[in-house]
Structure 1
């Protein structure tokens, strides 16, 4: 048993959180006079879409199980207690290999198993159109194939929990319904679908939009178009990348206003996230540059992004710094809300009976930066900034 004394992230009130057997056993209010010296306690972050971190990549083959476990442990220093490693468009054999490696890592290491809430399969059932396809390789894009998906799910040990697809393909609704019936969240992304196809996808059970506003054509009709249509669908939750580069602040503001509690943050971070600014060579985009401002772009053209290099803490800070969201709401966009969509126990946040997945923060700085002090997973201290465990 342990007791954590801190200020509640949403109320600011000082509390004592008792942890027993990996869960929150009790939450007591403390005298307000103690609050100034205490850190902030907040639910652990849940990243629905992450490709890699600190130079390690879930899509760099052959993927070693040890690499998977290293990424999950390194994510603790970013406050991420649950994540969905993202496997992107590739050949059927390559996708199966990556999924199998993630499954092997979970089977071999309890900490990795705890940290991976599921796998996000982003593609290959996406649009072949330039722009909408993003950086996904054209030769590997294919229409939805249920038998193939089942083989991948077997390789993953049943861990695929999110699949991003474009409902522009014939018979997409049938495929979506089969995924939903098997317990998989279907997300619309990298799409050129029209309004009726999106409507059919939602009626079949699609419930999420993958990095809405990105992975899109450079030019769209004013209306209708697939961005407006996804925003207008009441049953779709919208994921956004709030790194300050992928979407203008005006777009972020509109998504948050329209979607409310259904607005979510993802990092969609690539392996270069967590590294120092500089020039890097990647297996997908070739030579890329990470600037001191945090932007990742192609070396050949600074106007073209090469993925996201920032984590959820950065996105939360950006929303707060720009006045787009208050801190409690911004934090919940990256913690409680994604957990709620995915029906994770962590959706209970800091309440009694919830998993003891939380972080301790210093006071948010005037520049919006969020200094992370400690990360707890299932009640165990897994990261401490003071000693870098």
Structure 2
């Protein structure tokens, strides 16, 4: 057991303003779950109360604060450290993301994450699964993004099963391009085994996307990104994914990856199937400056939070912001209400992945909660609770 593990046996209360209604609530925590929610008799002005909301669930985190799930070797302690540091971002559940690499490197990465889950209860409680993004993606410049072309390959079920064995069954999401002839059979086998297949980094045709959905694909990875810089008006693989009602959509709302018009359109089309992801790389949580990375080489993180190639400022080098930042951008831009944006980063992804955290701020749900304050357009985290225990 980790040194932060607690018994979760004691009852205690948390007070705050409900993030949806703004009304004061008192939440009784017992056994790690929300046991009771009442309207409290306040001993301080209502305006002094922080906001209370469900913890955030991120389906795609590549690294944080200089640590990377894709720079080998790494150990179980690094996985534990990232997990703990994510509490400062309000993230109580997440999917560490392993991207395109040599087969043995992917195997080593997922195996290390699995060992960390077995070794530390606090890690197992926060890592809801592993997301493998590649290597079964498009080899073409543009949709391939920053993934190393030399490791891109067609879908291979036997290879994936070896990774899943090394991960002790913890791979829950895999990003695949349907453009490969092997894709429909692979997608069907993944879906039958309980793994969520997400379409991403693709140049697939309309028919290939329809075939992928029929085979069991359910999600789009960072829709609108990982694409050619110029596309035909129609048809194209972004419109095709928007049009597929069976596909939920993940969006990066950091203010750099997608323009407001696209986000507004995606929210209208996808409705409650639209979700936020950070897709954060290891430079998230780091100060502005110039960095040398294993993917992208020399990159710059600007004071505004944009991460780009040092020699080509117009080309992004990944996302360097977390879900709180994305929520702020949606609300400040008038694209979404605070409750709606928060749900996109918490109960919607939890519900999509069938996690108990889908219960949100309700009796019987896990007491994965955050307290925060609003300072203009900013959300300032005050406390994160995992199963009712304060983690900051």
- Quick check: 1:83–1:118 contact (8 Å CA) kept in 2? yes
- Residue 371 of structure 1: SS of its match in structure 2? strand
CA deviation string 1:308-357 (max 9, x = no partner): 00000000000000000000000000000000100000000011110000
Partner of 1:330: 341
CA deviation string 1:125-148 (max 9, x = no partner): 000110000000001000110000
Shift of 1:37: 1.9
Instruction: Work out whether 1:365 is the aligned partner of 2:375.
Output: yes
Instruction: Work out whether 1:92 is the aligned partner of 2:92.
Output: no
Partners in 2 of 1:90 and 1:37 — Cα distance?
49
1:155 is aligned, of 166, 177, 189, to 166
- Quick check: 1:14–1:31 contact (8 Å CA) kept in 2? no
Partner of 1:271: 282
Instruction: Work out whether 1:216 is the aligned partner of 2:208.
Output: no
Partner of 2:132: 121
CA deviation string 1:79-132 (max 9, x = no partner): 000000000000000000101110111111000111100000000000011000
Instruction: Work out whether 1:10 is the aligned partner of 2:20.
Output: yes
Shift of 1:251: 0.6
Partner of 1:203: 214
Instruction: Work out whether 1:314 is the aligned partner of 2:329.
Output: no
**Structure 2 residue ranges without an equivalent (≥5):** 1-10
- Residue 204 of structure 2: SS of its match in structure 1? coil
Instruction: Work out whether 1:29 is the aligned partner of 2:39.
Output: yes
The two structures, once aligned, show a CA RMSD in angstroms of: 0.9
Q: Select between 84-93 and 33-42 the one with higher mean Cα deviation.
A: 33-42
2:387 is aligned, of 375, 378, 381, to 378
Instruction: Work out whether 1:187 is the aligned partner of 2:201.
Output: no
- Quick check: 1:17–1:24 contact (8 Å CA) kept in 2? yes
Q: Select between 99-108 and 29-38 the one with higher mean Cα deviation.
A: 29-38
Partners in 2 of 1:29 and 1:226 — Cα distance?
49
- Quick check: 1:282–1:288 contact (8 Å CA) kept in 2? yes
Partners in 2 of 1:205 and 1:278 — Cα distance?
42
Partners in 1 of 2:344 and 2:41 — Cα distance?
29
Shift of 1:31: 5.2
Partner of 1:138: 149
Partner of 1:387: none
CA deviation string 1:137-192 (max 9, x = no partner): 00100011000000000010100000000011013111111111111110000001
Q: What count of residue pairs does the alignment treat as equivalent?
A: 381
Partners in 2 of 1:31 and 1:221 — Cα distance?
60
CA deviation string 1:294-315 (max 9, x = no partner): 0000011111100000000000
- Quick check: 2:154–2:182 contact (8 Å CA) kept in 1? no
Shift of 1:365: 2.1
Partners in 1 of 2:383 and 2:267 — Cα distance?
29
Partner of 2:4: none
Partners in 1 of 2:378 and 2:61 — Cα distance?
21
Partner of 2:77: 66
**Structure 1 residue ranges without an equivalent (≥5):** 384-389
Partners in 2 of 1:210 and 1:217 — Cα distance?
15
Instruction: Work out whether 1:178 is the aligned partner of 2:199.
Output: no
Partners in 2 of 1:334 and 1:194 — Cα distance?
30
- Residue 325 of structure 2: SS of its match in structure 1? helix
Shift of 1:35: 2.4
Partners in 2 of 1:127 and 1:115 — Cα distance?
31
Instruction: Work out whether 1:232 is the aligned partner of 2:270.
Output: no
Partner of 1:304: 315
- Quick check: 1:14–1:34 contact (8 Å CA) kept in 2? no
Normalising by structure 2, we get a TM-score of 0.96
Partners in 1 of 2:74 and 2:207 — Cα distance?
39
